[in-house]
Structures are given as structure tokens and as C-alpha cells.
Amino acid sequence: MTETKNLLLVVATTEPANQYASYVIAFMAKKLSNVPNVTIFYGPNAVSMAKKGELAKLEINQETKELIASQLEGLAAADLPDNLEQMARFQKDQLGVTIASCATFHVLNGFADSVDDTSNIEDFIVPVKLPDAWGAINGADKVLYF
């Protein structure tokens, strides 16, 4: 069995379950398997989640926190954040997960004037241009779609 060194999680929908799942899998990849490079990438159909405030709208209620924590040794429900924006910031800052989105689709979806415009996206999300998006896909050992 090969060891994963570069895991790419492509979020292909704005469905809340897909958002939650991508962050849970990223957390487990870093904490349980020590995968060195984990990237959550918002693709064309989910790029709107990169807009400021969108991830904060997805709350993590107490019941969900307890369900998740009950399955992971050493994790308490109180350790989990209240929404996905907080989860994303924790994963980026504490675990080193890269969170990126396709800058081309920021423009096509109308919340950026150019691929370099970051004024309406979350500060923890890296906008990538098409060649960099391909580089992430091409360099991944595993690509999972949510």
C-alpha cells in the first residue's frame, strides 16, 4: 500500500454535507494519518463557499459535535468549533491544511473583478489560477471529490 503524501479534496457542490465531510476528512488525514500535504479545493460548482461569511453560515450544532467526537479518540465535543469558518481557520493555522479556490470562477460568479481580486473572499482561502489548479490535481497522490 502506498502512503499518501499529497491529498486533494475537491469540493464540487455547495451542499452542507459535502462541506462538513471535506473538513472532517482533512482533519482525519492530518491527525490520524499524518498526511503531509492536505488541500481542500473549491471547484467551479462550490466556489461560492469562498465568499466572505459563507462558511460561517454552516453551524456545527452540539449533537453533531458529540457524534463526531464520539468516533475519534481524544477528541471532546467542546474541542470542536461552532461553524465551518472556525473549522477552516483552525485547520489552516494549526494543522497546515491548504484551502484554495479557483480564481477564474470567482470572476465568472461575479464576486471578483479579476483573478487577482481577493476583496470578497475569505482571507484563509488561497485563490489559484488555472495552471496552479492543474498543478494541484497533477501532483496529488489521491484526489477525493465531495
Sequence ranges of the domains in the chain: 6-145
pLDDT for 113 equals 96
Q: Which pLDDT score, from 0 to 100, does residue 1 have?
A: 52
pLDDT for 73 equals 86
Top CATH class of 6-145 equals alpha beta
Please report the pLDDT score of residue 2 as a whole number.
Answer: 66
DSSP string, 19-44: HHHHHHHHHHHHHTS--SEEEEEE-T
Amino acid at site 135: G
E strands, 3-141, where? 6-11, 37-42, 98-102, 126-128
Closest-CA residue to 31 (of 62, 64, 68): 68
Identify the pLDDT of residue 91: 96
pLDDT at position 98: 98
- Per-residue pLDDT averaged across 27-47, rounded? 95
DSSP 4: P
Q: How far apart are CA 101 and CA 40, in angstroms?
A: 8
Q: What's the pLDDT tens digit per position in 43-91?
A: 999 999 999 999 999 999 999 999 999 998 888 999 999 999 999 999 9
Mean pLDDT of the chain: 94
pLDDT at 127: 96
Helix (H, G, I), strand (E, B) or coil at 142: strand
Residue 25: phi and psi, rounded to 5, are -65, -40
